[in-house]
Every structure is written in structure tokens, then in C-alpha cells.
């Protein structure tokens, strides 16, 4: 059976199997309509079969229908939201999930605005939860404290419970762990959503087992906090601000540090291009430049102006082949999707028929190479990378390696060398429940076989609990030492 036939079969599968004939007749909560829309969306998802066989897809859809139907019968919006989250993670696509920021206001209030959050920031170091900032007001959790158990579950058990709801590309679990850290960087933190829905604290109090930096083992009880309290601890500049979102400084050793924690600029009033151009002018006089991308999931292609100053010939910044699975949005799906660019509704029109249900992009949609800029940056350049890098930053790091001009320090990236999905999206709403999920439209595929993994750094430096405790940054220091040595040598 070829892919075109597989897609037709997927769309034609029975819409209700979760509760037998009685449930099918009653159609609790409009489940049949929601499932029809989900199936239509999956029929054009470009990454559906990147990791799943048709048998896998059928099995996961059947489990989803049972779970979603149970939520509908119980009248539980949270149950249906969790069911959809679990199903979408089986695709192993880092861009397919019920987007917290696209839900209805009542859903946001009901699902996310709960007083269930842990009153501290933390990182996952392997299976250990390490505190980076205490917001409890008690001083009980100094930086570097290790949380060994939460409400009777070990930290590892908490992680295991949340991973099946956490998006990432392929089997890149480093990305999943990274996404489940809490850093004060998002209006709604991924960990908070699913911890609050799956493991809310009894009586609004978290009972923690901890190991403090002085090695004392203690048990503490701390009140859970809500969404407003979490947002009050945020450290990042908001996306709609006209303030600078990135920072730049020159170390005493003469190496410049450009910290870029995010590239999502579509709501920003800040003139990031001019700001970046001025800093790159200054970096040209430094001993070297280190670009810190470790917290940066992606957004716009803000790294292209940096690459343009480093290259002396055109650079294909994105080496993956783009493919889509439709010419025009199917009629069954069209009323249920929205997007910021209506050209996406006809994204395959004018593209080559690649066979087996695939289409290329028309020439007007193909990415242009990065061209050399008139101003050059000739100093040594390093980038700090890690598992958060999974979208535009994954693309930048791929291009950085191809350029030969940027040395990579840190940990393997998110994303996946087998390719990712994105480029354009349909914000897809299930009509009965009103739950939205992001549907990527373009699949990007490598032209040669690649491993199911992120991009490896040139110099591997693992994050450690001891570095968090000491407040040191071994990766940044190693990159700066390398840059300074390159100049002096």
C-alpha cells in the first residue's frame, strides 16, 4: 500500500471505537466530530510516519479514542486535553501539541490557572531536580538544593509521569527533560501545566524531601503557588516589549558574550536587527565572540545576520528537503483551522508531485541561501548549545556547523537529524471540545540517512548539579578560553 492509499485509509477508519455501539449512538460531547477533525489533520501531518508505522498509528488512535471518549462522558475538559496531549506525543514531533497560548480563556483558567505549582525554579540534571531559585519566601531551598521526592513520589517518578506528555522530535529525551525545567522564562511553564493536572498537591501544600547544599536531608512543606505568582517571578523580557530581549557584554579577557535566550519576534516592538548589527560591529573589535543559545528554543531566523558576517560564499542554511502532504487544505479540515498566512491553505499548489502522496514546495516558498554581508566578522566565534535548541536554533546550529566558522560547546541539541516539522502551521480546533492543537505543515527530511538524535557539540560539556550550586558556567568559560587562545596563538 503506498502513502497516498494509506492517507485515504486513515481518513476512512471508523470514527468511534472507544465505547461501543451505545456511545456511538449517543456521541457524548460531540466526540465523533472531534475525531473526524483530528483524523483529517493527521492525514496531512508531514511527520506522522517518520517514526510510526501505519499499524502504530492505528493503535495510538484507538487508545486516544477510548481515552478522549471517557473524558467526554465524564464531562472533563482536562481529561480530554490530557488525552490529546498523550496522543500527539506519540508522533514524536516537537511542534505538535495542544498549544497553551491558543486555548480559549475559560480553558486557560480551568486548565492552567491552578494553585498547584512548585514555589521554585529548577533544572533536571539527568533524573535529579536541582533548585536554581527559591520563590517560597522561606529560604528553605537554597540554590543547588536537590529535590528527592514530591508528595510521596521520587523526583524520577515525577519525571517519568510527565515525559509521555512532553513534546520532542524523535527519541530525543534530552529535549523533553529540558522542556520540563522551570526557569522563569515562559508565561506558562510546561512542567506546571502537566504537574498541576496529573499530580496536584493535596490541600494546596507540597511536601518535599530535599538534600540541601550542606548535605542535610530534610522534609519541608511549602504552599503551592498559582499562575500569577509564577509569572511574578519571570526573569525574561516579555515578547511584546520594546525593550532589548538579548544582552551583550565584553569580559575582562576581551571576549564578547552575546546572550540570546529567545528568537520569537513576531509580537516584538524591539528593533532587534539594528541592535544586533551594532553589537556585531563591536564584536569585530573583541578577541572573540561567544553566542549563548542554550535557553533558546527558536522563533525567527535571527541567527542569519550573524552567519552572513562569517561566510565568504552563499550558505544553504537549511539542508533538509521540504515536503508537504496536500496541495489545498482538505474541505473536512478547512473550517476548523486558522493561520497567520492564508497562503498556507494552498501550500502545495505549484509544487512538484513527488509521488506517494508527497508534494514539493513551489519555487516562491523555497528558502534562499544566506548571502555574505558586506561587513565581516573575522574573530573566533563559538556558540553554546543544548537540548532546548529544537526549531530555528536547531537550523542555525546545523548551518553553523556547515559554515565551518562557529565552534559548538555544550550538550547535544533538541530537534532531530532525521528532520523536523514546521515552517507553517494550522492552529486546529476540535469543534466540540474547543481544544486547539498546532499542526505543522512542512516536513523537512535529510537527503542521506541520519541518526535519531540532535546535533552533537564539538566540545561536550555536561550541565552538573555542582555547577548550579557553585554558580559557575563551565561551558561558557571553556568557549571563551578557546576564543582568546585562538587570537593569542
Q: Where are the domains of the chain?
A: 3-99, 120-232, 247-488
- Which pLDDT band holds residue 27 (cuts at 50, 70, 90)? low
Tell me the per-residue pLDDT of 339-351, one tens digit each, with 9 for 90 and over.
999 999 999 999 9
Q: What is the DSSP code (8-state) at residue 57?
A: H
Q: Which residue has the higher pLDDT, 203 or 27?
A: 203
Tell me the per-residue pLDDT of 376-406, one tens digit each, with 9 for 90 and over.
999 999 999 999 999 999 999 999 999 999 9
Q: Which of 308, 272, 311 is nearest to 405 (CA)?
A: 311
Residues in the chain, total = 489
147 three-state secondary structure: strand
81-98: b or e for each residue (b if 16 or more CB lie within 10 Å)?
A: bbbbbbbbbbbbbbbbbb
- Which pLDDT band holds residue 7 (cuts at 50, 70, 90)? very low
Mean pLDDT value across the chain = 93
- Which pLDDT band holds residue 10 (cuts at 50, 70, 90)? low
Judge whether 120-232 and 247-488 match in fold.
no
Contacts 24+ apart (CB under 8 A), 149-156: 149/208, 149/209, 150/118, 150/199, 150/206, 150/207, 150/208, 151/199, 151/201, 151/202, 151/206, 151/207, 151/208, 152/207, 153/199, 155/127, 155/128, 155/129, 156/127
How far apart, in whole angstroms, are the C-alpha atoms of residue 90 and residue 77?
Answer: 21
Is the pLDDT reported for residue 487 higher than 80? no
How far apart, in whole angstroms, are the C-alpha atoms of residue 330 and residue 313?
Answer: 41
In the sheet that holds 337-338, the strands lie side by side as 321-323, 436-445, 421-429, 337-338
Q: Dmax over Cα atoms in the chain, in whole Å? A: 78
- Report the pLDDT value the prediction gives residue 12, as an integer from 0 to 100: 47
- Backbone Cα Rg of the chain: 23
**Which ranges of 188-293 does DSSP label H, i.e. alpha helix?**
190-198, 227-232, 272-283
pLDDT mean over 8-34: 55
- Report the pLDDT value the prediction gives residue 448, as an integer from 0 to 100: 95
Tell me the per-residue pLDDT of 204-242, one tens digit each, with 9 for 90 and over.
999 999 999 999 999 999 999 999 999 999 888 877 788
Please tell me the class of the 120-232 domain. Answer: mainly beta
- Report the pLDDT value the prediction gives residue 376, as an integer from 0 to 100: 97
- Report the pLDDT value the prediction gives residue 23, as an integer from 0 to 100: 39
How far apart, in whole angstroms, are the C-alpha atoms of residue 223 and residue 205?
Answer: 4
How far apart, in whole angstroms, are the C-alpha atoms of residue 441 and residue 326?
Answer: 9
Q: Which three cell numbers stand for residue 254?
A: 576581551
Highest mean pLDDT among 267-271, 308-312, 313-317: 308-312
What kind of fold does domain 247-488 have according to CATH?
2-enoyl-CoA Hydratase; Chain A, domain 1 (3.90.226)
Q: Which of 301, 289, 300, 298 is nearest to 259 (CA)?
A: 289
Q: Which residues contact 260 (CB under 8 A, 6 or more apart)?
A: 245, 246, 291, 292, 293, 296, 302
Q: What is the DSSP code (8-state) at residue 79?
A: H
- Which pLDDT band holds residue 366 (cuts at 50, 70, 90)? confident
Is the pLDDT reported for residue 194 higher than 90? yes
Element (H or E) spanning 162, and its range?
Answer: helix 155-162
Tell me the per-residue pLDDT of 92-150, one tens digit each, with 9 for 90 and over.
999 999 999 999 999 999 999 999 999 999 999 999 999 999 999 999 999 999 999 99
CA atoms within 13 A on the CB side of 109: 3
pLDDT mean over 36-59: 98
Amino acid at each position: 500500500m503506498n502513502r497516498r492509499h494509506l492517507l485515504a485509509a486513515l481518513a476512512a477508519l471508523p470514527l468511534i471505537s472507544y465505547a461501543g455501539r451505545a456511545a456511538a449512538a449517543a456521541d457524548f460531547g460531540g466526540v465523533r466530530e472531534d475525531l473526524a477533525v483530528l483524523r483529517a489533520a493527521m492525514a496531512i501531518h508531514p511527520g506522522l510516519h517518520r517514526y510510526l508505522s501505519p499499524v502504530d498509528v492505528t493503535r495510538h488512535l484507538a487508545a486516544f479514542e477510548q481515552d478522549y471518549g471517557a473524558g467526554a462522558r465524564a464531562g472533563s475538559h482536562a481529561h480530554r486535553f490530557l488525552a490529546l496531549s498523550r496522543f500527539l506525543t506519540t508522533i514524536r514531533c516537537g511542534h505538535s501539541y495542544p498549544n497553551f497560548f491558543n486555548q480559549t480563556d475559560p480553558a486557560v483558567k480551568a486548565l492552567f490557572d491552578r494553585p498547584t505549582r512548585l514555589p521554585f525554579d529548577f533544572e533536571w540534571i539527568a533524573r535529579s531536580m536541582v533548585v536554581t531559585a527559591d520563590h517560597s519566601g522561606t529560604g528553605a531551598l537554597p540554590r543547588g538544593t536537590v529535590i528527592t521526592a514530591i508528595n510521596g513520589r521520587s523526583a524520577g517518578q515525577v519525571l517519568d509521569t510527565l515525559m509521555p506528555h512532553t513534546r520532542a522530535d524523535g527519541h530525543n529525551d534530552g529535549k523533553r527533560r529540558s522542556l520540563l525545567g522551570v526557569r522563569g522564562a515562559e508565561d506558562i511553564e510546561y512542567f506546571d501545566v502537566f504537574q498541576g493536572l496529573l499530580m496536584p498537591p493535596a490541600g494546596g501544600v507540597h511536601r518535599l524531601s530535599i538534600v540541601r547544599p550542606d548535605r542535610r536531608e530534610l522534609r519541608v512543606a511549602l504552599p503551592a503557588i498559582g499562575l500569577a505568582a509564577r509569572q511574578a517571578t519571570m526573569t525574561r523580557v516579555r515578547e511584546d516589549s520594546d525593550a532589548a530581549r538579548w544582552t551583550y557584554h565584553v569580559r575582562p579577557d576581551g571576549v564578547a558574550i552575546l546572550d540570546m535566550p529567545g528568537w520569537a519576534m513576531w509580537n516584538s516592538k524591539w528593533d532587534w536587527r539594528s541592535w544586533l548589527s551594532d553589537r556585531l560591529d563591536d564584536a569585530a573589535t573583541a578577541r572573540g565572540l561567544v553566542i549563548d543559545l542554550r535557553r533558546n528554543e527558536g522563533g525567527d531566523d535571527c541567527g542569519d545576520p550573524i552567519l552572513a558576517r562569517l561566510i565568504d560564499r552563499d550558505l544553504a542554511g537549511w539542508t533538509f528537503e521540504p515536503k508537504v502532504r496536500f496541495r489545498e487544505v482538505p474541505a473536512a479540515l478547512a473550517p476548523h483551522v486558522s493561520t497567520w498566512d492564508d497562503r498556507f491553505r494552498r501550500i502545495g499548489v505549484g509544487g512538484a508531485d513527488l509521488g506517494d502522496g508527497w508534494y514539493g514546495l513551489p519555487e516562491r516558498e523555497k528558502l534562499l541561501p544566506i548571502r555574505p554581508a558586506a561587513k565581516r566578522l573575522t574573530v573566533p566565534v563559538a556558540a553554546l548549545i543544548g537540548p532546548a535548541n529544537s526549531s530555528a536554533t536547531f537550523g542555525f546550529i546545523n548551518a553553523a556547523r556547515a559554515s565551518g566558522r562557529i565552534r559548538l560547546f555544550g550538550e547535544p541539541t533538541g530537534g532531530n537529524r532525521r528532520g523536523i516539522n514546521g515552517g507553517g502551521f494550522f492552529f486546529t480546533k476540535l469543534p466540540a471540545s474547543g481544544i486547539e492543537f498546532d499542526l505543522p505543515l512542512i516536513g523537512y527530511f535529510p537527503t542521506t540517512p541520519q541518526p535519531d538524535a540532535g546535533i552533537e557539540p564539538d566540545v561536550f560539556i555536561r550541565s552538573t548539579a555542582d555547577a548550579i550550586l557553585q554558580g559557575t558556567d563551565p561551558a561558557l568559560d571553556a568557549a571563551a578560553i578557546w576564543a582568546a587562545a585562538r587570537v593569542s596563538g
